[in-house]
Structure formats: structure tokens, C-alpha cells
Amino acid sequence: MALSSDVKLVGVTAERILQTVHAALYASVPLDSMAIKESSYLVSQAGTAVAMLKVTGGSILHTHPATGKWITAATGVLREVNNAPAMLLSGPDFYAEAAAGTSVMKDFFHFKDDCTAAEIATLLARFHSTPTA
């Protein structure tokens, strides 16, 4: 079960986001051993990805009110079959999931150039085999 927070993160600095995640989820490790990648809010501890924090709004994924509902529903189905990371923390305008590794995406529409076709096919097959009913 995910923790809940009333802290709002839209418009705050990456440093404040890292401090919030650290205090809520990783208080037992030194803050200076953690880092955050501003473009995706990938939170790492001692060089290992531990959480992905997402602040709502301001991106292509939040241009229509139904989008959040679609993402939540799809992620729920994927979590039920262990194809999506666990939810760790949620707030009024953000949520944090367990890290599932580093992204294979170069940007929103393209895979990284160093991903092999077999790696991409394996990943896509895993998601396309998720039950939908």
C-alpha cells in the first residue's frame, strides 16, 4: 500500500523534490548519497535507481483530463500482473513508484539507439501479453 502525502510539488525545485522523497521514503540513508535527474525525476541512492517521481501537469501526458484516468487504469492492470513498478507514495500533484530500471526511451517517441531489436521486442511482448479483461 502506498503512503500518502499532502505536500504539493508542482513548480518546486528538483532539490525540494529530492528532499521530499528522501524524507518520506529513504530517511535512513544519507541525503548526499541520493540524486535526482530533473528531466524524469529518477531518484537514485548511491548510483542505483530507487524511485521514479512524477509531478503532474506541464507535459504531453497531461493535456487532456481523461489522460490521467487512462494512465491510472492501465498502470493498475499492469501492476496486477507485476508488469509495472509498485506505487510508493502519492500526493495531490505527484506520485512516486519503485524504480523499474533505467529507461529504454531516448525521448517520448523514440527508443535509445543502443537498444537492440531483441531487447525492444522482449519488452513490448511482455506488455502486449498483459491480460485486458
Fill in the DSSP letter of residue 89. Answer: E
Q: How far apart are CA 51 and CA 42, in angstroms?
A: 6
Query: 36: closest CA among 61, 71, 12?
Result: 12
Residue-level pLDDT, tens digit, the chain, 133 residues: 788 999 998 888 888 988 998 999 999 999 888 887 655 578 888 988 899 888 876 565 666 778 778 888 888 888 888 888 899 998 887 888 998 877 777 776 888 888 888 888 888 888 788 777 6
Confidence (pTM):
0.58
Cβ within 8 Å of residue 7, ≥6 positions away? 20, 91, 92, 94
